[in-house]
Amino acid sequence: MGWPLRMFQEEGYYFVTSRCFQGRLLLRPSQEVNEVVGGVLAKAVQQSGGAVRLHAFTFASNHFHLLVWAQGAALASFMQYLRANLSRKVGRLVDWRGGFWERRYSAELVLDDTALVGRLRYILAHGVKEGLVEMCAEWPGLSCLPQLLGPARRSFRWFNWTKRWSARRREDKEAREGRYAEEWAEPVELEVVPLPCWEGREEEERRREVRALQGEVEAEARAKGKPVLGAATVQAQHPHTRPERLARSPRPLGHASTRQALRELREQYRAFVSAFREAAARWMRGDFSARFPLFSFPPRVVPSLVA
């Protein structure tokens, strides 16, 4: 069975999720992993040339979530760059040589301000709702929380391996330093942009909103009365560990505060799929004048299979 078709908007907000292969803890938090992940994420946003804006993010041990705004199909190239560089750079750091990601990332449309705040709350809850830490700020992985409560920009290091490889070729020998040496590090800034519904508010007012979401998440966790694993134990786990069980649930088409908005999105998606399949059928028969829906990608054609 093929993957569901991905529908992009001319511009829109997306809740993005990507899980590590077999749910292994390949993104397990550490100072080194956080620095590499931050640099890659910042570079990916920079490479998008303004076509992708980052509103929130969190990196758990075996998956990550992003809340982004993106133009057209820009999210596709952004995610390709992000996941490819994370798999190479974090994979090397944790000594993992196999496939890094379990499957395609999911990108769910977020249709209104209430749903956007709900997705932000969900991101902030990671680590707490799973019983790993008591407070949102205690999660040792990379998170947008410090930037939501402080300066919106944060500096990371991007390890330029192209520069390292060029130096090795020039010297015709192993570079003097390793892959994560300061010699190859370039500073890059990561900016978290306020949610559109909060853009006109003062910084302190936005921070109060974030702290209120934190308080709700932590109060819910305390009400359960369950002991937490603790940040130190999380960081002590081996990154190759494969969980015995993985929580899985159907991925929604989108997020909205009203059923009517979701119904309209489903209707729009059905029309998109119908138009795409009709164009694809003509395309595969060799009719390359077939017009596909905007921001979609025609299927690959094998010349020998075209009549």
In a domain, 4, yes or no: no
- Do residues 166 and 275 share a domain? no
Instruction: Mark which of 220, 240, 257 sits at the end of a domain.
Output: 257
In a domain, 3, yes or no: no
In a domain, 1, yes or no: no
Determine the pLDDT at residue 173: 47
- Do residues 218 and 90 share a domain? yes
- Do residues 40 and 135 share a domain? yes
In a domain, 40, yes or no: yes
Determine the pLDDT at residue 286: 87
- Do residues 223 and 269 share a domain? no
- Do residues 126 and 172 share a domain? yes
Determine the pLDDT at residue 163: 74
Determine the pLDDT at residue 134: 95
d(C-alpha 73, C-alpha 79), whole Å: 10
- Do residues 239 and 269 share a domain? no
Determine the pLDDT at residue 171: 56
- Do residues 158 and 110 share a domain? yes
In a domain, 72, yes or no: yes
In a domain, 109, yes or no: yes
Write down the pTM of the prediction: 0.92
d(C-alpha 32, C-alpha 38), whole Å: 10
Its domain, for residue 271, covers 265-305
- Do residues 159 and 217 share a domain? yes
- Do residues 216 and 274 share a domain? no
CATH number of residue 127's parent domain: 3.30.70.1290
In a domain, 178, yes or no: yes
- Whole-angstrom distance between the N-terminal and C-terminal Cα of the chain? 25
- Do residues 30 and 160 share a domain? yes
- Do residues 117 and 253 share a domain? yes
pLDDT tens-place values along the chain, 307 residues long: 467 899 999 999 999 999 999 999 999 999 999 999 999 999 999 999 999 999 999 999 999 999 999 999 999 999 999 999 999 999 999 999 889 998 899 999 999 999 999 999 999 999 999 999 999 999 999 999 999 999 999 999 988 877 776 665 555 444 445 887 778 888 999 999 999 999 889 999 999 999 999 999 999 999 998 899 999 999 999 999 998 887 777 889 999 999 999 999 999 999 999 999 999 999 888 888 999 999 999 887 655 555 5
In a domain, 30, yes or no: yes
Determine the pLDDT at residue 177: 57
Q: How many domains does the chain have?
A: 2
- Do residues 200 and 249 share a domain? yes
